[in-house]
């Protein structure tokens, strides 16, 4: 029985064809995904990485809603130029509370993984309201509506923390109980800025040593 005679069996049988496609296409995924999904080091937080607070999480959800990730990556590659430009390269352990990951695929604007602490809150406020007021050639859109909306209206923060706890994020009962109060009086812009200011601060020198530095 040569190859083509064997193939005739598959191409004359609907069930065999379906099974064949499913089987052959599943192999690569299984080999790549299963080890990655069970690799503990990818789920272990870096020393300074902790779950997002209620305000940070709300800020992150606003970042998702406005889809900032289509123009800003959050992933510094271990290359000299990138480390010089943005700071220490990104480690897997810094992202264990990121659901979903937001590493991005395009840098129309700069990488934001280590944006935290680089500019003042006021700078961010001005920049979000009118990017060209602080960066003359910027092609970033303005986000005036963020200043007019209350952070508490962004979504049900108590539900969010509860769902994340179910997914394994170590929130305490107290954090969940206080979540709404934490958002009280803040605009969406405030929450987004709090998120931006904590971005990349989960890095610790300890991790850098552990991973043997840039290579």
Is residue 153 a contact residue for another protein (CB under 8 A)? no
How far is 135 from 127, CA to CA, in rounded Å?
Answer: 8
Q: Which of residues 53-82 bind another protein (CB under 8 A)?
A: 61, 64-71, 73, 75, 77-82
- What is the CA 14 to chain-centroid distance, rounded? 42
- DSSP per-residue string spanning 107-162: -SS---TT-TTTS-HHHHHHHHH-HHHHSTT--PPP-GGGGTSBGGGGS-HHHHHH
DSSP-based three-state secondary structure for 73: coil
Q: Minimum Å distance from CB 64 to another protein?
A: 5
**Single residue of 141, 170, 185, 213 touching another protein by CB under 8 A:** 141
Q: Which of residues 81-120 bind another protein (CB under 8 A)?
A: 81-82, 84-85, 90-92, 94-111
Binding piece for another protein, criterion CB under 8 A, among 9-17, 120-128, 174-182, 192-200: 9-17
What one-character DSSP code corresponds to residue 49?
-
Is residue 46 a contact residue for another protein (CB under 8 A)? no
Q: Which of residues 19-38 bind another protein (CB under 8 A)?
A: 20-22, 24-29, 31-33, 35-37
């Amino acid at each position: 029985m040569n190859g083509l005679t064997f193939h005739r069996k598959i191409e004359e049988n609907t069930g065999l064809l379906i099974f064949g496609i499913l089987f052959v296409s599943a192999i690569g995924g299984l080999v790549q995904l299963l080890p990655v999904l069970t690799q503990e080091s990818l789920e272990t937080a870096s020393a300074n990485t902790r779950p997002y607070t209620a305000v940070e999480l709300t800020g992150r959800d606003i970042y998702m809603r406005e889809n900032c990730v289509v123009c800003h990556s959050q992933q510094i590659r271990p290359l000299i130029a990138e480390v010089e430009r943005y700071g220490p390269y990104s480690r897997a352990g810094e992202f264990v509370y990121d659901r979903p990951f937001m590493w991005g695929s395009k840098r129309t604007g700069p990488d934001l993984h280590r944006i935290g602490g680089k500019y003042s809150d006021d700078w961010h406020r001005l920049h979000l309201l009118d990017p060209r007021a602080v960066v003359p050639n910027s092609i970033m859109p303005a986000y005036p509506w963020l200043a007019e909306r209350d952070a508490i209206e962004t979504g049900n923060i108590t539900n969010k923390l509860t769902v994340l706890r179910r997914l394994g994020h170590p929130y305490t009962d107290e954090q969940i109980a206080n979540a709404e109060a934490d958002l009280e009086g803040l605009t969406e812009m405030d929450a987004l800025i709090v998120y931006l200011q904590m971005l990349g601060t989960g890095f610790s020198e300890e991790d850098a040593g552990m991973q043997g530095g840039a290579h």
